Amino acid sequence: MRGADLINLLLPDEILDEVLRRVAVSGAKRDLDACALVCSRWRRHDRATRRSAKLAASGARADEVLRLVAERFPALVEVSVDERISVEAAAAGPSCAAARSRRRPMYDVSPSGRRRRMSRSSNFGAHMSPFPLDQPGSDNETERTCLTDVGLTSLARGCKGLEKLSLACYIGDPGLIAIGEGCKLLRNLNLRFVEGTSDEGLIGLIKNCGQSLVSLGVATCAWMTDASLHAVGSHCPNLEFLSLESDHIKNEGVVSVAKGCRLLKTLKLQCMGAGDEALDAIGLFCSFLESLSLNNFEKFTDRSLSSIAKGCKNLTDLILNDCHLLTDRSLEFVARSCKKLARLKINGCQNMETAALEHIGRWCPGLLELSLIYCPRIRDSAFLEVGRGCSLLRSLYLVDCSRISDDALCYIAQGCKNLTELSIRRGYEIGDKALISFAENCKSLRELTLQFCERVSDAGLTAIAEGCPLRKLNLCGCQLITDNGLTAIARGCPDLVYLDISVLRSIGDMALAEIGEGCSQLKDIALSHCPEVTDVGLGHLVRGCLPLQSCQMVYCRRVSSTGIATIVSGCPKLKKLLVEEWKLQETNEFFAPAYPLLPSYATVFLLLLEIPYPLQPKNIKLKHL
Amino acid sequence: MAELVGPRVYSCCHCRNHVCLHDDIISKAFQGRNGRAFLFSHAMNISMGPKEDRQLMTGLHTVADIYCRDCREVLGWKYERAFEESQKYKEGKFIFEKAKIVKENW
């Protein structure tokens, strides 16, 4: 019978819940919202089972929205409250029935065919003008333009099962304490850009739900001092993940955490005030530590890493950023003691020399990923040891290591045959010999990035094309590459998904034509600063690469509005386009017909042509069309 | 008499550390972050920061900021690479901003 609902009446509740659960796991929030609109039964089930929500902290109705969400979605487990999202002020209409808002569509479709970006606060928030406004307890007449503690308190009381909470907004201490009192199962807490609170609030929260807390992250919260960390140490014995970014933390705070949280597995510290004593304590007490990340740590010396090495035998990940006082001896300690080391990243530790890597090569056979950024003193001989010792290496990432030459990379290629990712930026001494060696030895290479490596030429690229089935290739700034090299790539790597050929002066339309023919899976292409590419080449590219989603082509002086129109009309899946704004404005007659073909969720980024020096992010205007 | 003899030196505006010589000036027609800047062929007593790829008025360049070695004041930048043929002459040379350097007794 037409129009009759046969299945819904027979579907048991458990099956419906299971269906909704699977939609939540695999689909977008949009899909779940659509399910909630099918009928009132489905909406009831969705409300009873919805597990995660992203809520707005800006807008005058934020408190009310949060209260309603807490009442109607009691099963929420993961909540993120963000002040970048805003509840749009709905028209106040006390007589509008709630029923009318239920039938209103979820999104407005504006005339240009693009969905207006709705606030991501609960489905009903933005359209729900007519709920009864019971005034909150406080009587002061101050203008409320954002979330306050009242809203957070209602969230805490309503969602008792909350496990994961992320706050990025302006709230006060009572709000945090309310969360602590209400959500006794809280496992993950993340505070970022939270202002208006003080240590009191966080301490209150921790005292109440510290037992269940497993993960704590605090960043850009200038109020946090050691007092909070003392509380963490006293009340959070089960803490496994801690990430701290603060200028006021000193040694005592970190020592308290070390003594109290013996089960700590991941530690990320960006604290200028702490030094060696802090890490001595971590090494002494936190023997389960697996991942350590130290950023801008200006005060600690080799002594810290020696303590860590002695105590944390399970260390697998080590990240050191801008640690100027460290020398090779630190890495020797770590290498000799932490046999399970798998991921190592050294950024800007200028006093680390060749010996540091030699120790790693000799003592860490399990190394999987190695990143060296701005290490100008490391020389080729270090890689001889790494090549010999670390045969399981999967990923190598080198930036600004100016002394590394082809020989070093040949050692790696011959020793680390399982390499899948290789990335080199500004390797001015690297040339074709290294590439040929990789092509012969590393048949699993999938991602290759060679940015500003000026000696790399077509010969090396052709070898790679024949030897390695690449999926991602970045050749930005390798000036010697010509159309021939790219032709070889197009013919040899049909699985290519991402290609960046920016700042290549000699490539032209022939390369694009070959890529169009050969790389039918291409989703992402960047060809900015290529002066010889013209609209004709773009036409060939678009004809072949149907799955193209993202295209960047700024500063291509021979590409005109016609070329842009070709891209827009030829790529049905286009989501992101980076191009100069004047190229679009010039040709309304070309662009206008093509524009409605852009999928409604596409975002077109436009770059203004006048770029004053220096290029600061604030000088670029990005517009959503 | 000592002031009239000897090389004409520019110093860091904060700590008066000698950083460059007047005779090394190649061009005075450059634009810095906050005003005029000069192009020098040599520099001394400076340290360099990490390299960055920047889009300047004259095109894409790889530059590195230069700091006074003693007081860590940013004095300008050094051109590592230029990606347009007409700009290649700048490679390896230093820009000092006029506001950050002072003449040392001349």
Beta-strand pair B59-68/B74-82: antiparallel
Distances (CA, A) of A540 to A536, A570, A607: 7, 10, 25
Give the whole-angstrom CA distance, residue A180 versus residue A203: 9
Give the whole-angstrom CA distance, residue A233 versus residue A278: 13
The DSSP letter of residue A282 is H
Chain A residues in contact with B78 (beta carbon < 8 A): none
Torsion angle, CA of A408/A409/A413/A416, rounded to 10 degrees? 70
> What's the structural domain count of chain A?
1
Give the whole-angstrom CA distance, residue A424 versus residue A450: 5
pLDDT at site A494 = 93
Check if B89 contacts A (Cβ < 8 Å).
no
Half-sphere exposure of A140 (CA within 13 A, CB side): 3
Residue A32 sits in which domain range? 1-49
Check if B60 contacts A (Cβ < 8 Å).
yes
Q: Is residue A241 part of a domain?
A: no
Chain B residues in contact with A617 (beta carbon < 8 A): none
Chain A residue with Cα closest to B51:
A400
Which stretches of B1-106 are assigned E, i.e. beta strand?
Answer: 9-12, 18-21, 25-32, 35-40, 46-56, 59-68, 74-82, 94-97, 101-103
Tokens of A535: 């609209």
A:B CB pairs within 8 Å: 33
Q: Is A598 helix (H, G, I), strand (E, B) or coil?
A: coil
Name the residue ranges covered by the structural domains of chain B: 8-101
Q: Choose, out of A613, A618, A620, the residue to mutate when testing the contact with B (most B CBs < 10 Å).
A: A613
Check if A555 contacts B (Cβ < 8 Å).
yes
Give the whole-angstrom CA distance, residue A40 versus residue A67: 21
Q: Are A569 and A538 in contact (CB under 8 A)?
A: no
Chain A residues in contact with B67 (beta carbon < 8 A): none
Check if B86 contacts A (Cβ < 8 Å).
no
A529/B33 touch (CB, cutoff 8 Å), yes or no: no
Check if B83 contacts A (Cβ < 8 Å).
yes
Q: Summarize the confidence of residues B58-84 as an average pLDDT.
A: 91
Chain A residues in contact with B83 (beta carbon < 8 A): 477, 479, 503, 505, 529
Give the end-to-end CA distance of chain B in Å, rounded to a whole number.
12
Nearest-CA distance B45 → chain A (Å): 18
Chain B residues in contact with A505 (beta carbon < 8 A): 83
Check if A137 contacts B (Cβ < 8 Å).
no
A348/B50 touch (CB, cutoff 8 Å), yes or no: yes
Q: Are A201 and A176 in contact (CB under 8 A)?
A: yes
A374/B53 touch (CB, cutoff 8 Å), yes or no: no
Q: Is residue A410 part of a domain?
A: no
Q: Is residue A391 part of a domain?
A: no
A426/B62 touch (CB, cutoff 8 Å), yes or no: yes
- Model pTM? 0.78
* Angle between helix A354-363 and A380-389 (nearest 10): 10
pLDDT at site B90 = 93
pLDDT at site A113 = 34
Q: How many CB atoms lie within 10 A of CB B97?
A: 20
Tokens of A329: 């001896």
Give the whole-angstrom CA distance, residue A607 versus residue A594: 20
Chain B residue with Cα closest to A611:
B57
Low-confidence ranges of chain A (pLDDT < 50): 90-141, 587-625
Plot region of A317 (φ>0 → left; ψ -120 to 50 → alpha; else → beta): beta
* Angle between helix A149-158 and A173-182 (nearest 10): 0
Chain A residues in contact with B62 (beta carbon < 8 A): 426, 452
Q: Choose, out of B36, B47, B51, the residue to mutate when testing the contact with A (most A CBs < 10 Å).
A: B51
Check if B34 contacts A (Cβ < 8 Å).
no
The CATH number for B8-101, chosen from 2.40.420.20, 2.170.150.20, 3.90.950.10, 1.10.630.10, is 2.170.150.20
Beta-strand pair B9-12/B101-103: antiparallel
Give the whole-angstrom CA distance, residue A498 versus residue A346: 27
Beta-strand pair B94-97/B35-40: antiparallel
Check if B5 contacts A (Cβ < 8 Å).
no
Query: pLDDT digit string (tens) for A295-314?
Result: 876 777 888 889 999 999 99
Give the whole-angstrom CA distance, residue A179 versus residue A186: 9
B54/A615 touch (CB, cutoff 8 Å), yes or no: yes
- Contacts of A608-613 with CB under 8 Å at 24 or more apart are A608/A580, A608/A581, A609/A580, A609/A581, A609/A582, A611/B55, A611/B57, A612/B57, A613/B31, A613/B33, A613/B56, A613/B57
Give the whole-angstrom CA distance, residue B46 versus residue B73: 10
Nearest-CA distance A611 → chain B (Å): 7
Nearest partner of A295 among A269, A274, A277, judged by Cα: A269
Beta-strand pair B46-56/B59-68: antiparallel
